[in-house]
Amino acid sequence: MKPASPIEDAYLEYAEQAKPQGTQSATTRPAAPAESSATTGSPAPAPQPKPGEFKYIGKYTPRVDGRKIVTGAARYTHDLAFEGMLYAKILRSPHASADLVSIDLADALALPGVKAGLKLKEGRIKWVGEPIAAVAAVSERRAEEALALIKVEYKVLPHVVAPDKAMEPGAPLVQDAGNVIKSNDYARGDVEKGFKEADVVLERTYKTSWEVHQPTETHGSVALWDGDDLTVWDSTQAVQSVRDGLARALAIPAGRVKVLKHYMGGGFGSKLGLGDYTVTAARLARETGRPVKLILTRRENSYCVGYRPSAWMTVKVGAKKDGALTALTLKNYNCGGVGRGDRVAEPYSDMYKCPNVKIEEYTVFVNTCGSRATRAPGHTQAMLGLEGMMEELAAKLGLDPLELRMKNYAAKDKGDTGLPYSTKGLEQCYRLGAEKIGWQRRNKKPGAGAGKVRTGIGMASQIWPGAGVPGTLADVKLYPDGSVEVECGTQDIGTGTRTHIALVAAETLGLEPRDVVVHIGNSDLPWAPLSGGSLTVPSVAPAVRDAALKAAEYLKGIAAKKLGLPPADLILEAKKVVSKTDPAKAIELKELARSLPRPMPFHGERGDYPATFAFQTFGVQFAEVEVDTETGKIKVKKVVAAHDIGRVINRQTAESQVLGGVTQGMSAALFEEKVMDPQTGAMVNPNYHDYKVATAMDIPEIVPLFADVVDERLNNLGAKGLGEPPRIPASAVIANAVYNALGVHVREIPMTPARVLAALKRKEERP
């Protein structure tokens, strides 16, 4: 099998950085880089703020750059233009499988206005859209005209794009090692013994489809050389990873590469690593000596930059009459095109107390673009099967689904057989969510309602790491004019990173968020991990807090001498340093800053966490739906999302994350599906018209709730990540609500009207 691509490497980095080493699960992955490894010791708990100490943290704070974004002043990669800039386009393969015989660029390069061309591919082609060649021209239109003049000779070969067909004997080989390889194997206890001990045994199969990345801003880069130094403006979730990848791809020192990302219109995992378009733009810019802009079209973005891989999960569970699980097995076939796809094991291994578990996972290769990490890779697919089975098991046992989950509540990871969780607020989430949705209104027996339109209420739980990455760096600078800057090599991917950085620094220094100047999105700034895996807040915020605390101690030391008071008696608030015992004794921060000898930098670092605990986020969502039994159409009326993410930093952006995650999950549950043509091997719906995404007309009432369980062991703010958690149960909860309404589980998403009607027919045909 071919070596891992940069995007696949980014996926592994994403997965590893999201999970502390001390909490390894059923998913087997390579060791994480040193920066993201947990210590083998047990550090002392991080110092925590006292109750009532915070003015901004945990409250509603508007985005510091909100006005700039809504007025169009924020600059995205698409907006950039430079004098003499060229525009690049990529010629892509029309074939799903072929040998590339020859490429002739002569006619394209002879076209007036075309300044350079590149051959990007040789040998075997494995998917429609694979890059073949590229040109740079004075306009996009001229570049497109040049693509049509490139002569390419292919030897077309048989292909396969359906996972079930790829598994058949004699199917065209996608990878040399075969179309099906075992990708994960996990076991604990004795599952056969567990099934023998069970009073009830159920086996069901659940399926998820390919879910295509659809960020508002398509992928793209602008590259500019200054002698031997390269600057790239990239729509990326990882400025420093892209810098390092470019240095490797171009064989130049990383110190000669700078990657900038001011604003971006979404990524959801697809922009975690280096893209071939970025390398292409840089190569064309070097060849021409001019800036080069390469922006993918919506069509390219639909079939060339990855998607959430599909999953085909057969789940078998054994339980006692009281609901106690005795055995759980999973056999999963995931399909990520020519890539490795997702493993879905961790929730099956960790979510519920179960002594006997066996998991087998297989990757199925087909001739389509490789998948990429998509918001909560693996966990999202897993919960459709795991939580769907819990609902069906509860009905079989005659138990309340919430009661069944509480019966199997785990206080330790690996199904209560591993490390204790540092904190776990899931029980509070269950209570908050059930009360808000009116859980007692659900059909006590699924499908008990009558009439053409049936109503149902379901629930689904969530688990995700979100502990952050030790070693994340941030600098706070104090200037003699009283101004404050924060620098960190992280990036804002649309989630409000600038705001939470400003908020934490302002809180610690007694300022207002608007008083803090934030510099991010630059690979030259202090190291930070990629923005994925719910890493950003629990990695960056504690580093900023650490630097700001050092700056605050320095200021208190200067003020103590001026006021004749001990530093321990001083606090920073309302832009002053004030005595706690005699508030009349105070000094303005601006006045204090005048005594600074020069701009003063203070270096902060996100500390480590003890390896003796597991650190996870938890949550639950409840949904109410209506299903038309004649048309099969589903309408989601309300979703209540209760999450335990440690301390909430900014309640306004946290609630926004929940609204977005639930909306994405609903969209995948009801609409989203990449459709392939088996004859041509091409995607047939690579646009917003044919690839349905939820709009404002589809979004239900969404109620975000937080347990606010501060994790004092994790970091100096007790905060965990929130990017993934609201997406994880959002498809499963809607499927379970439909089950409660109809009395039959659709078991495949998207739950199109045709699939709903087929499930109803299956119910009618039961003996």
* pLDDT tens-digit series, residues 543-569: 999 999 999 999 999 999 999 999 999
Under the banding of pLDDT at 50, 70 and 90, the label for residue 7 is very low
Under the banding of pLDDT at 50, 70 and 90, the label for residue 764 is confident
Q: What pLDDT sits at residue 14?
A: 53
Q: Which amino acid is at 346?
A: E
Q: What pLDDT sits at residue 765?
A: 79
Token match 């700039």: residue?
68
11-15, 25-29, 210-214: range with lowest mean pLDDT: 25-29
The pTM of the full predicted model, rounded to 2 decimals, is 0.94
Tell me if 77-92+98-157+219-295 shares its fold with 471-605.
Answer: yes
Topology of domain 307-467+612-764, per CATH?
Answer: Aldehyde Oxidoreductase; domain 4 (3.30.365)
CATH number of 471-605: 3.30.365.10
Please state, in angstroms and as integers, the Cα–Cα distance from residue 206 to each residue in 30, 313, 379, 388, 746, following that order: 28, 5, 14, 8, 9
- Residues 494-516 have a mean pLDDT of 97
- Residues 314-340 have a mean pLDDT of 98
Q: What pLDDT sits at residue 27?
A: 45
Structure tokens at 65: 């750059």
Say how far apart CA 646 and CA 712 lie, in whole Å: 9
Structure tokens at 308: 């959430």
- Residues 714-731 have a mean pLDDT of 97
Say how far apart CA 97 and CA 368 lie, in whole Å: 9
Under the banding of pLDDT at 50, 70 and 90, the label for residue 512 is very high
Comparison of pLDDT for 281 and 53, the residue scoring more: 281
pLDDT of 29 strictly over 50: no
Quick one: which of 27, 152, 49 has its CA closest to 99? 152
**Burial environment of residue 695 by CB neighbours within 10 A (0 to 12, 13 to 18, 19 or more):** exposed
- Residues 725-732 have a mean pLDDT of 98
Q: What pLDDT sits at residue 687?
A: 93
Largest CA distance in the chain: 88
Is residue 331 within a helix (H) or strand (E), and if so which, with residue range? strand 325-335
390: three-class secondary structure by DSSP: helix
Do the Cβ atoms of 300 and 33 come closer than 8 Å?
Answer: no
**For the segment 577-609, what is each residue's pLDDT rounded down to a tens digit?**
999 999 999 999 999 999 999 999 999 999 999
Comparison of pLDDT for 23 and 278, the residue scoring more: 278
Output 199-203 pairs: Cβ under 8 A, ≥24 positions apart. 199/319, 199/320, 199/321, 200/318, 200/319, 200/320, 200/321, 200/393, 200/396, 200/397, 201/316, 201/317, 201/318, 202/316, 202/317, 202/389, 202/392, 202/393, 202/396, 203/314, 203/315, 203/316, 203/317
- Residues 23-38 have a mean pLDDT of 36
Under the banding of pLDDT at 50, 70 and 90, the label for residue 386 is very high
**For the segment 635-658, what is each residue's pLDDT rounded down to a tens digit?**
999 999 999 999 999 999 999 999
Do the Cβ atoms of 443 and 457 come closer than 8 Å?
Answer: yes
Q: What pLDDT sits at residue 118?
A: 98
Please state, in angstroms and as integers, the Cα–Cα distance from residue 696 to each residue in 344, 656, 665, 674, 700, following that order: 30, 15, 14, 21, 9
Please state, in angstroms and as integers, the Cα–Cα distance from residue 176 to each residue in 1, 181, 360, 625, following that order: 6, 11, 22, 46
Say how far apart CA 672 and CA 688 lie, in whole Å: 11
pLDDT of 19 strictly over 70: no
pLDDT of 349 strictly over 80: yes
Say how far apart CA 21 and CA 153 lie, in whole Å: 49
Q: Which amino acid is at 48?
A: Q
Q: What pLDDT sits at residue 54?
A: 93
Please state, in angstroms and as integers, the Cα–Cα distance from residue 138 to each residue in 115, 143, 168, following that order: 8, 8, 49
Roughly what angle, to the nearest 10 degrees, separates helices 6-17 and 239-250? 150
**For the segment 106-146, what is each residue's pLDDT rounded down to a tens digit?**
999 999 999 999 999 999 999 999 999 999 999 999 999 99
E strands, 690-736, in order: 701-706
Do the Cβ atoms of 413 and 350 come closer than 8 Å?
Answer: yes
Q: What's the chain's length in residues?
A: 767
Contacts of 193 (CB under 8 A, 6+ apart): 327, 356
pLDDT of 149 strictly over 90: yes
Say how far apart CA 544 and CA 492 lie, in whole Å: 15
Mean pLDDT computed over every residue of the chain: 93
Do the Cβ atoms of 117 and 147 come closer than 8 Å?
Answer: no
Contacts of 468 (CB under 8 A, 6+ apart): 535, 537, 538, 539, 542, 606, 714, 715, 720, 721
pLDDT of 37 strictly over 50: no
Is residue 556 within a helix (H) or strand (E), and if so which, with residue range? helix 536-563
pLDDT of 390 strictly over 80: yes
Say how far apart CA 332 and CA 168 lie, in whole Å: 17
Pick the most confident of 12-21, 47-56, 362-371. 362-371
Say how far apart CA 182 and CA 441 lie, in whole Å: 44
State how beta strands 473-478 and 600-605 pair. antiparallel
Q: What pLDDT sits at residue 702?
A: 98
Residues above pLDDT 90, as percent of the chain: 92
Say how far apart CA 529 and CA 519 lie, in whole Å: 16
pLDDT of 675 strictly over 70: yes
Please state, in angstroms and as integers, the Cα–Cα distance from residue 499 to each residue in 331, 496, 589, 651, following that order: 43, 5, 22, 11
pLDDT of 33 strictly over 60: no
pLDDT of 21 strictly over 50: no
CATH match of 77-92+98-157+219-295 with 3.90.180.10? no
Q: What pLDDT sits at residue 8?
A: 42
pLDDT of 31 strictly over 60: no
Q: What pLDDT sits at residue 708?
A: 85
Q: Which amino acid is at 743?
A: G
Q: Where are the domains of the chain?
A: 77-92+98-157+219-295, 307-467+612-764, 471-605
- Residues 472-476 have a mean pLDDT of 98
